[in-house]
Amino acid sequence: MLEEVLRFATPYGRLVDKEMNDYGAIAVELLVGFCALFLYTKLVGKTHFSQLTPFDFISVLILGELLGNAVYDQEIKLQKILFALSLWALLIYVTELVTQKLKSTRKMLEGQPSILIRKGNIQFKEMKKIKLDLNQLQSLLRQQGYFSLREVNYVIMETNGSISVLPKPEYGKPTNQDLHLHPQPSSLPYTVILDGEVIHDNLRASGHDEQWLKDELANADIFHYQDVLFAEWRENEPLFLQKYS
């Protein structure tokens, strides 16, 4: 009797052990994939996802596919998962660097905005080129608060698929002139310190020199540029400062 129980229990026990090992391997691979994806998002930055281009969208899909297949394919080891994720992240990172350094590559790698409506006229050829029909255009306009094509003067589709709308004057928001209000003079703000470094071009454009900047910092009990995260000057306003926290 005992021998029969042992004969039954031994294969069953091996099967249970194998399943537990499989679950453990999946858990480890998922954990490693999670950490790798977390590092990947830190590497490429938040703007990579907030300004998702078609190329970026495809790259994210492929990245998810690589991880998904690796988790459930028992022949793929942990080292191969890390290699695939690292190589893909490196390719995306290099692509981002190339587009930042070489402006000539941006059109090919990131695309360019498309003017869908110009001076109130629908650019049908441009819409046909990007595979957009009128119903889709109307839907995008309604999401921006415009329910008729007659209300818009210019519509531009950005590289991430969103649209920017410039309405016709009669449909735009009222201005100070429309409301007969006295407009306040406006001026361009200049960032004079960024990440602890002085932006000398902006400092000169604001009409000030470095001694003035040092005096302003001293008034705020700051004596080193490296202590300042951000500093901005605007005409007729005090210097806006943000220290490193």
pLDDT tens per residue, range 24-37: 666 766 676 667 66
- Does residue 112 surpass a pLDDT of 60? yes
- Does residue 6 surpass a pLDDT of 50? no
DSSP bridge pairs for 241: 231
Q: Based on the fold, state whether residues 101 and 6 are members of the same structural domain.
A: yes
pLDDT tens figures, 136-177 = 988 999 999 888 888 899 999 987 788 999 998 888 887 777
Lowest mean pLDDT of 106-115, 120-129, 144-153, name the range.
106-115
- Does residue 122 surpass a pLDDT of 50? yes
| Any domain includes 44 | yes
Q: Based on the fold, state whether residues 156 and 136 are members of the same structural domain.
A: yes
Domain stop point among 73, 90, 106: 106
- Does residue 1 surpass a pLDDT of 60? no
Domain that holds residue 234: 190-243
pLDDT band at 100 (very low <50, low <70, confident <90, very high): confident
| Any domain includes 100 | yes
Q: Which long-range contacts (CB under 8 A, 24 or more apart) does 181-188 make?
A: 185/235, 185/236, 187/234, 187/235, 187/236, 188/234
pLDDT band at 131 (very low <50, low <70, confident <90, very high): confident
Domain stop point among 106, 122, 153: 106
Q: Based on the fold, state whether residues 83 and 130 are members of the same structural domain.
A: no
| Any domain includes 179 | no
Report the CATH number at residue 126. Answer: 3.30.240.20
Mean pLDDT, rounded, for 56-77: 68
What are the structure tokens assigned to 241, written together?
């400062």
| Any domain includes 183 | no
| Any domain includes 159 | yes
Mean pLDDT, rounded, for 58-83: 69
| Any domain includes 185 | no
In the 8-state DSSP scheme, what is residue 237?
Answer: S
| Any domain includes 182 | no
Q: Based on the fold, state whether residues 194 and 124 are members of the same structural domain.
A: no
Lowest mean pLDDT of 10-24, 105-119, 178-192, name the range.
10-24
What span, in angstroms and rounded, lies between the C-alpha atoms of 243 and 225? 10
Q: Which residue has the tokens 């490296």?
A: 226
Separation of CA 131 from chain center = 24
Number of domains in the chain: 3
| Any domain includes 102 | yes
pLDDT band at 5 (very low <50, low <70, confident <90, very high): very low
Q: Which residue has the tokens 């008729």?
A: 148
Note the pLDDT of residue 2.
44
Using CA of residue 63, residue 64, residue 66, residue 67, what is the dihedral sign?
Answer: positive
Q: Based on the fold, state whether residues 15 and 100 are members of the same structural domain.
A: yes
Note the pLDDT of residue 244.
83
What are the structure tokens assigned to 33, written together?
């994939």
Helix/strand/coil for 177: coil
The secondary structure of the chain in percent helix, strand, coil, rounded to multiples of 5, reads 55, 15, 30
Domain stop point among 61, 84, 106: 106
Q: Are the beta carbons of 114 and 159 closer than 8 angstroms?
A: no
Separation of CA 130 from chain center = 22
The DSSP-derived string for 108-133 is: HHH---EEEEETTEE-HHHHHHTT--
Q: Based on the fold, state whether residues 95 and 149 are members of the same structural domain.
A: no
Q: Based on the fold, state whether residues 98 and 13 are members of the same structural domain.
A: yes
Q: Based on the fold, state whether residues 13 and 58 are members of the same structural domain.
A: yes
Q: Are the beta carbons of 137 and 155 closer than 8 angstroms?
A: yes
